[in-house]
Amino acid sequence: MPASILAGYATHYGSTREVTEAIAEELRKGGLDVDVQPAGKVRTLDSYRAVVLGAPLIMYRWHADARRFLARHRKALARRPVAVFALGPTHVPHDEKEWSDSRAQLDKVLAEYAWLKPVALELFGGRFDPKDLRFPLNWMAGSEPATDIRDWEAVRAWAGKIRPMLAG
């Protein structure tokens, strides 16, 4: 089995890429060789022994690049440890209903991939900035306040937890 771990991500506005990089950094501290790549650019998993896949929930769905990644690499993923995370909630103050809705969205998405048995699954808070939005989203949500509730401690703790599951 190859030694590297793929940390694949999908993103619209960049926050999931930054979370993926933080996870990769933490895994590397544990001696793992980690390759961070946009999920949509990955052609083969041959050189990876395990995969971390992260993507944001957007409009009640998971980013299309993450869904395409699962479909394209189904066979290879079924034979490797896969850890999955999503970014979703952005509200300040903490909104329990928002978190449970996001969790339900993520569970619904993953139910479409019943063959996928993630070794770990996590939902993280995300970042929202109305300046990133284009029409018509800026028209619908452009007056919402900017927030960034990414919990870097929780992200790093999760990376530490999954490290032995990916290391083999």
Ligand X SMILES: Cc1cc2nc3c(=O)[nH]c(=O)nc-3n(C[C@H](O)[C@H](O)[C@H](O)COP(=O)(O)O)c2cc1C
Q: What is the DSSP letter of 7?
A: E
Contact 126, 149 (CB under 8 A): yes
Instruction: Build a one-symbol-per-residue string for 94-113: x at contacts with ligand X by CB under 6 A, - elsewhere.
Output: --------x--x--------
In the list 50, 57, 109, 155, the residue contacting ligand X (rule: CB under 6 A) is 57
Question: What's the closest the beta carbon of residue 164 comes to ligand X, in angstroms?
Answer: 27
> Least distance (Å) from ligand X to the CB of residue 99?
8
Whose CA is closest to 84, among 44, 124, 135?
124
Stretch that binds ligand X, among 29-37, 45-53, 87-95, 113-121 (CB under 6 A): 87-95
From CA 51, how far away is CA 165, in angstroms rounded? 10
The site string for ligand X over 109-148 (x = CB under 6 A, - otherwise) reads: -----------------xxx--------x-----------
Bin 31: left if φ > 0, else alpha if -120 < ψ < 50, else beta: left
Q: Which is nearer to ligand X, 75 or 97 (CB)?
A: 97
List CB contacts of 153: < 8 A, sequence separation 6 or more: none
Residues 37, 6 contacting (CB under 8 angstroms): yes
Pull the structure tokens for residue 121: 């699954």
Q: Which is nearer to ligand X, 59 or 111 (CB)?
A: 59
Residues forming contacts to ligand X in the complex (CB under 6 A) are 11-16, 56-60, 87-90, 102, 105, 126-128, 137
